[in-house]
Structure 1
Amino acid sequence: MALKGLHPALLLLLLVLLPACLALGRRETRHEKFHRQHVDFPKTSAPDARRYCNLLMQRRNLTADACKPTNTFIHVGPAEVDGVCRSGGTPSTENYYDSNVPFELTTCRLAGGAQRPPCNYRGRTSTQRIRVACVGGLPVHYKTQL
């Protein structure tokens, strides 16, 4: 028996909107937050490191309430970064792992005294190994470059 009238349209609308509503109500995991805050691959194009940092810090929601003093972006694919917690890294102390290979990085540091938006950053690019905290085989915290 086929459905008639508005019921099929309402059912279709419900099937489309329900997953979207569930996603909005779900909190970001620690691993997802790590990726949002630290992984930028492929690297976002900007004329220089200062403009790159000002753009990414705002775009990644790291300046909404206050200016985050420092943040590092890693310019390799998410799977490579996740691999540091497995065969791509070496255990350090506690739950920290050091990457076996260097990664391209951009480190953004707050320039000037203002801790409230609008924020102004300076940027520095480098290629270095990194140290991350891992939980359940996935990175959840960026510690430092080595």
Structure 2
Amino acid sequence: MALKGPCPALLLLLLVLLPACLALGRRETRHEKFHRQHVDFPKTSAPDARRYCNLLMPRRNLTTDACKPTNTFIHAGPAEVDDVCHAGGTLRTENYYDSKVPFELTICRLAGGAQRPPCNYRGRTSTQQIRVLTLPHPLHAAGTVA
């Protein structure tokens, strides 16, 4: 016997929305935050580095309350970046790993003016080795680009 009335529609709506609500309520891990802030692969298309930075910095929530002074975006897959802390890198000091190979990067720097949004960035592209700081975490390492 089929259910009648609004209950099947509400049940279907609940089944569709529940996973989305649970995902929104979950806190971002340090590892996820590192990827959000520093990994852009494939590289987002923009006419030049300045427009790239002015597009990506707010898109990645790096200008929500204040303008982040500087940020580096790595244009490699997340697994390649994570591998710097393993076989793809060399331990330099207690928690710093240097990549064995260079990565394509875009470096965004605040271009003077206000420290509050809207923010204006200048950008520069580069290919160089990266240094990643790993932070102690029970499940996995996350870091910042040095």
CA contact (8 A) 2:41 2:77 kept: yes
1:63 corresponds to: 63
2:16 corresponds to: 16
1:4 corresponds to: 3
Counterpart secondary structure, 1:80: helix
TM-score by length of 2: 0.89
Q: Per the alignment, do residues 39 and 68 of structure 1 end up closer, same or farther by CA in structure 2, a change over 3 Å counting?
A: same
Summarize deviations over 1:91-121 as a string: whole Å, max 9, x none: 1212221111000001001111321111111
CA distance, structure 1, for counterparts of residue 141 and residue 38 of structure 2: 10
**Displacement after TM superposition at 1:9 (Å):** 3.2
Aligned length: 143
Give 5+ residue unaligned stretches, structure 2: none
CA contact (8 A) 1:132 1:139 kept: no
TM-score by length of 1: 0.89
Code of the residue aligned with 1:121 in structure 2: it is Y
Q: Are 1:101 and 2:105 matched, yes or no? A: no
CA contact (8 A) 2:84 2:90 kept: yes
CA RMSD of aligned residues (A): 1.7
CA contact (8 A) 1:50 1:122 kept: yes
Q: Are 1:143 and 2:145 matched, yes or no? A: yes
Counterpart secondary structure, 1:84: helix
CA contact (8 A) 2:65 2:116 kept: yes
Code of the residue aligned with 1:140 in structure 2: it is A
Would you identify which runs of 4 or more consecutive aligned residues in structure 1 move more than 4 Å? 135-139
1:113 corresponds to: 113
Q: Are 1:28 and 2:28 matched, yes or no? A: yes
CA distance, structure 1, for counterparts of residue 2 and residue 97 of structure 2: 57
CA contact (8 A) 1:34 1:139 kept: no
Give 5+ residue unaligned stretches, structure 1: none
CA contact (8 A) 2:96 2:131 kept: yes
